[in-house]
Amino acid sequence: MAKKLQENIKIDAELCTGCGRCSEVCPVDAIEGEEGKPQSVNVAKCVMCGQCVQICSAYDSPFEQYATSRSQRLKERNMPIVKEPLFAAYYHGDFFKVKKRLADKKQFSMVQCAPAVRVSLAEEFGMPLGSLVPGKMVAALKRLGFTRVYDTNFAADLTIMEEGSELVKRITEGGSLPMFTSCCPAWVKFVENEYPELIDHLSSCKSPQQMAGSMFKTYGASVDGVDAREVYSVAIMPCTCKKFEANRPEMKSSGYQDVDAVLTTRELAYLIKEAAIDFNALPEESFDKPLGMYSGAGTIFGVTGGVMEAAIRTAYELITKEPIENVNVTSVRGEQGVRKVTLDTGALKLKTVVVSGLKNVIPILEDIQRGKADFHFMEVMTCPAGCISGGGQPKMLLPVDGRKAYENRKSSTYQHDEEQRYRKSHENPEIQDIYQKFLGEPLGHKSHKLLHTHYKPSR
Amino acid sequence: MSRNLNSFVLADSKKCIGCRVCEVACAVAHLDTEIKTVGNMNFSLNPRLYLVKTPEITMPVQCRHCEDAPCLKSCPVSAIKEQSNRIVIDEAGCIGCKSCIMACPFGAIELIVSRQERVGDEEDRLRDEPEVVASKCDLCGGAPACVKACPREALQYVDMVKERTQRRIEAANKMSGFHNEFMVREG
């Protein structure tokens, strides 16, 4: 099982022309092969970010003849029957698995949607790039038959509570510093693969996907009076590596696999199309409560700098006990590369680093190994603009539209943040409630069991 | 000759990496509706230039817009015309006989399923539209999408007037020295 999951990203040798653009974008040099010849993925190195899937333009031309039929190719990829062109780089889907379980009307299913899905899903239905559609997305998921439509954004708020407290604890009581975010599974896998000696620097927090999963099968199940074993937990993600994360053996803190299946944004679009739902005509509907309520801080997790900004909004108030002057921490926003920002909290100058694009983190990690780290907290996202540019997001036909899509998805994300009644994770009433009724306190016994994990060297 | 020579797009096999972005861009530029994402496509991509890959070379091939176009001459129903310095196929008039494919020395013409096939019921289609039509590069009306999309700048829009002028200047620069030397030796 584990081996199969590692082979999530593949290159179809019959379609690959060996142009090498995939190996240019691969942050871990996992793509191998001679120039001009079909390339292959080195499974041991691959972090499954899917950037190769996004850039590949070698498609099944109607003017060429292939030994493999189109239906065979669709089957290999676990894709439904679609007429769209197929490209050489692809990922294994989970469409059929989810479709089958949804067809069972007795199934008690809970679904979560990552923040980056609501700013891209509509693109698969012809709406302008970056259209913001949380309400239509909820309506579509309800029509697909999910019993509870919850949200990863809620768990993002929960992540901030735990991660912010963990950072403050490491600074005040001691612990490995700088602390690294652990929301991006490709980044976590990269540390495990290439820098195992730095694993202690990773926050022990699970990613929002996994926090949501364990909350679904514990708190969520109790709210509805169902047994955890009856809950089918699905995540809709912009990311191809989240499929791998959900299947990690340590992700069973509810007593069951916390997230049973992960669909990409594109796979959700297939489900909606196959069910003949007219997406564009759907009304706006609301996420279910309690695990579907979120703050603006939760929603900005989808863009690079978002986790940092959300953490700053809460950490500042945890440290200073005063409200933050400007909730828009624009200095951490931006794209590709490295941004260093110092936050003055009076008592402490909190030094932070935001990295987008995995290649950019290597010099920093080398510095840390040489003992040259001079900061407290680092956010790393593997994909160039954060999750909005993930491998499972709608694939642009033209590279020029890719850049436009990132720009629009980003501005929709910040717009959504500004629209929220609560902008800080700790102000989300359902977050306050879950601590009061169920979790106790951040970093407490229950939190530790359900929301934290530890990572292991993979070599 | 009183008129300008037709322009065309030419690929540099030394720069081309064979990524097929040119083909995708071409197909997208010729869609009836604007489509940005792969998931919105419910039909295959039909480009009008074709990547050729052999052990030695990699480059796309497309219509040369010949001055004395064999395809135009071979068309029995006059569906291929010369219009504003381009050789264009009138898809509505095409009967799909393949004469142009046989006549083209570049293999630059393909038969594609008629775009109209996707609309109207079957009866309409049989009455009004051919099942398949000849298809080839139309230079996108003067700003070829393939040239713009190539990530390696391997495609060039060749304007014969500029090209000829440039070559003559280069030749003159080279020949001026050569000529003087030649004259001196003769003398």
DSSP-based three-state secondary structure for B160: helix
Interchain CB contact of B118 with A (< 8 Å): no
Cβ count within 10 A of residue A36? 15
What is the pLDDT confidence band of residue B186, given thresholds at 50, 70 and 90?
A: low
Tell me, yes or no, whether B142 lies in a domain.
yes
Q: Which residues of B touch A17 (CB under 8 A)?
A: 18-20, 51, 53, 58
Interchain CB contact of A432 with B (< 8 Å): no
pLDDT higher than 90, residue A401: yes
pLDDT higher than 90, residue A64: yes
Considering only CB atoms, B20 lies closest to which of A57, A129, A399, namely: A57
Residue A332's pLDDT is what?
87
Listed range (A307-321, A346-360, B66-80, B114-128) with the worst mean pLDDT? B114-128
Residue B85's pLDDT is what?
87
The Cα-based distances of A180 to A90, A187, A377, B22 in angstroms read: 30, 10, 6, 41
Chain A, 57 to 76: residues with Cβ < 8 Å from chain B are 57-63
Residue A239 falls in the annotated catalytic set: no
Question: How many alpha carbons lie under 13 Å from residue A280 in its C-beta half-sphere?
Answer: 7
Q: Can you give the CATH number for the domain in which B93 is found?
A: 3.30.70.20
Tell me, yes or no, whether B165 lies in a domain.
no
Q: Do A397 and B110 touch (CB under 8 A)?
A: no
Tell me, yes or no, whether B62 lies in a domain.
yes
Residue A5's pLDDT is what?
59
C-alpha B171: how far from its chain's center?
A: 28
**pLDDT 10s digits, A287-336:** 999 999 999 999 999 999 999 999 999 988 888 888 988 899 888 898 76
Tell me, yes or no, whether B63 lies in a domain.
yes
Tell me, yes or no, whether B2 lies in a domain.
no
Considering only CB atoms, B36 lies closest to which of A36, A270, A396, namely: A396
What average pLDDT does chain B have?
88
Q: Do B40 and A126 touch (CB under 8 A)?
A: yes
Chain A, 201 to 260: residues with Cβ < 8 Å from chain B are none
Tell me, yes or no, whether B184 lies in a domain.
no
Tell me, yes or no, whether B132 lies in a domain.
yes
Which residues 6+ apart lie within 8 Å of A59 measured at CB?
Answer: A15, A85, A86, A87, A88, B20, B23, B24, B45
Q: Tell me the β-bridge partners of A148.
A: A110
Residue A184 falls in the annotated catalytic set: no
- The CB-based long-range contact list for B54-59 (8 Å cut-off, 24+ gap) reads B57/B13, B58/A17, B58/A36, B58/B13, B58/B16, B58/B17, B58/B18, B59/B11, B59/B12, B59/B13, B59/B16, B59/B154
Average pLDDT of the residues in A75-94: 95
pLDDT higher than 90, residue A198: yes
In chain A, % of residues over pLDDT 90: 88
pLDDT higher than 80, residue A367: yes
Higher pLDDT, A252 or B116: A252
Average pLDDT of the residues in A188-208: 96
Distance from CA of A63 to the nearest CA of B (A): 8
pLDDT higher than 80, residue B187: no
Name the residue range of residue B46's domain: 8-119+127-159
What average pLDDT does chain A have?
94
**pLDDT 10s digits, A112-121:** 999 999 999 9
Q: What share of chain B is helix, strand, coil (3-state, %, to 5)?
A: 35, 20, 45
Check residue A263 and report its DSSP letter: E
- The complex scores an ipTM of 0.92
- Counting the structural domains of chain B, the total is 1
Q: Do B37 and A397 touch (CB under 8 A)?
A: yes
Residue A245 falls in the annotated catalytic set: yes
**Residue among A192, A387, A395, A427 flagged as catalytic:** A387
Cα–Cα dist A60/A16, whole Å: 9
Cα–Cα dist A230/A233, whole Å: 10
Tell me, yes or no, whether B178 lies in a domain.
no
pLDDT higher than 70, residue A4: no
Structure tokens at A21: 């653009």
Listed range (A93-102, A334-343, A383-392) with the worst mean pLDDT? A334-343
Listed range (A92-106, A267-281, A342-356) with the worst mean pLDDT? A342-356
Average pLDDT of the residues in A117-142: 98
Residue A163 falls in the annotated catalytic set: yes
